[in-house]
Amino acid sequence: MTRENPLFPAKNVDLRQIVYEKIKEAIVEGIIKPGEKLSEVELANKMAVSRTPVREAIRQLAKTGLVSLTPRKGAFVTVPTLEDASALYELRANLEMFAVTLIAQSPPKKDLEKFRDIFFNMDNDTDPKEYLIQDRKFHNFLYEASGNRFLKGVLLDILDMINLYRPYSLAERNYLKALSEGHIAIIDAILAKDGVKAREEMKEHINLTRSGVEEYLQNHPGAIRS
Query: Which backbone phi and psi does 108 adopt, to 5 degrees?
Result: -80, 85
In single-letter form, the type of residue at position 167 comes to: P
C-alpha 12/C-alpha 89 separation (Å) is 36
- Give the side-chain half-sphere CA count within 13 A for 34: 20
C-alpha 27/C-alpha 167 separation (Å) is 12
pLDDT confidence of residue 165: 87
C-alpha 43/C-alpha 49 separation (Å) is 8
Query: Which backbone phi and psi does 76 adopt, to 5 degrees?
Result: -130, 145
pLDDT in tens, 127-142: 998 999 999 999 999 9
Band the pLDDT of 226: cuts 50, 70, 90.
very low
**Residue in 89, 85, 9 with CA at minimum distance from that of residue 53:** 9
For residue 85, the Cα-to-chain-centroid distance in whole angstroms is: 12
Most confident residue range from 59-68, 87-96, 160-169: 87-96
C-alpha 155/C-alpha 164 separation (Å) is 14
Band the pLDDT of 17: cuts 50, 70, 90.
confident
pTM: 0.81
Burial of 21 (0-12, 13-18, 19+ CB in 10 A): middle
Which position has the higher pLDDT, 33 or 96?
Answer: 96
